Amino acid sequence: MAKEIEVTLNDNKVTGAEGMTILDLARAKGIDIPTLCYVEDLLPTGACRLCVVEVEGSRTLVASCHTPIAPGMVIQTHSPRVIEARRQIVELMLASHPDTCLVCDKANICELRKIAADLDIGLPRFRTRKHYFAIEDVSPYLVRDMSKCVLCRRCIRGCNEIAKKNVLGMAYRGFDSKVVVDCDEAINTEACRDCDVCVSLCPVGALSKPRKVEEKRRGKVQVIKG
């Protein structure tokens, strides 16, 4: 059996097994820390920084999804400093995200929107250009709209770790970073046939299935007279 470690979590003394991350422990104790890039079945990557918490003695905030608990840690998961940092991180993502929620497939199940709502975020305070990439809809298996991508890398990790197909990779740097296929070509590989791993992992509307012909609206468009 793993060694038990005692830590202070939001002013309560609790114990967790050695090797657990702060996030594991918090969730086990019923504390909700928002996450975006972290998914239970994938290796952590530490990209979004949404899961940050305060650990006494640390110069910076600490990402809970990949930081193991250590004896005597004093952790605050919802201090004002933490909440403010999380808000800004979401605002930073929203600032360059297209405002197309109205027509987005993910509209009401979008994780980004849900997190923004939970943190009570309205219009982002930051002004920046939007990400813009052309929609990739040549593949019969999936459609990619990378303008909506928040670079959580769940699709890449899913493709590598679960589907084991290694179709996706990262390219470019900084603000121009992008999840790409080969030398940044529109996705259209046979490997994607009968595989929904990335589509099901994407938290936003960047990845979706192409609309099937049968699903297209049948009959005349209704015109409502006003």
Please report, as ranges, the residues that interact with ligand FES according to CB under 6 A.
35-38, 46-51, 63, 65
**Considering beta carbons, is residue 92 or 162 the nearer one to other proteins?**
92
Tokens 């609790």 correspond to: 14
The whole-angstrom separation of Cα 60 and Cα 70 is: 16
The whole-angstrom separation of Cα 89 and Cα 46 is: 13
* The entry of other proteins, ligand FES, ligand SF4, none that residue 149 binds, CB within 5 to 8 Å by partner kind: ligand SF4
CB of 135 to ligand SF4, least distance (A): 13
**Considering beta carbons, is residue 31 or 63 the nearer one to ligand FES?**
63
Binder of ligand SF4 out of 23, 65, 149, 159 (CB under 6 A): 149
Binder of ligand SF4 out of 65, 151, 181, 187 (CB under 6 A): 151
102 burial type by CB count under 10 A (0-12 exposed, 13-18 middle, 19+ buried): exposed
Within residues 122-141, the interface with ligand SF4 by CB under 6 A covers none
**Considering beta carbons, is residue 5 or 199 the nearer one to ligand SF4?**
199
CB of 94 to ligand SF4, least distance (A): 13
CB of 65 to other proteins, least distance (A): 9
Question: What letter would DSSP give residue 174?
Answer: G
Beta strand extents in the chain (DSSP E only): 4-9, 12-17, 52-55, 62-63, 74-76, 143-144, 168-171, 178-181, 207-208
188 burial type by CB count under 10 A (0-12 exposed, 13-18 middle, 19+ buried): middle
- Should residue 187 be labelled a site residue for ligand SF4 when binding is judged by CB under 6 A? no
CB of 144 to ligand FES, least distance (A): 21
On whether the CB atoms of residues 9 and 75 are closer than 8 A, the answer is yes
The whole-angstrom separation of Cα 126 and Cα 96 is: 9
**Considering beta carbons, is residue 9 or 63 the nearer one to ligand FES?**
63
29: its two tokens = 């104790």
Question: What letter would DSSP give residue 21?
Answer: B
**Considering beta carbons, is residue 15 or 128 the nearer one to other proteins?**
128
* Site for other proteins, rule CB under 8 A: 44-50, 52, 60-61, 63, 66-68, 81, 84-85, 88-89, 92-93, 95-96, 125-129, 150-151, 169-170, 172-177
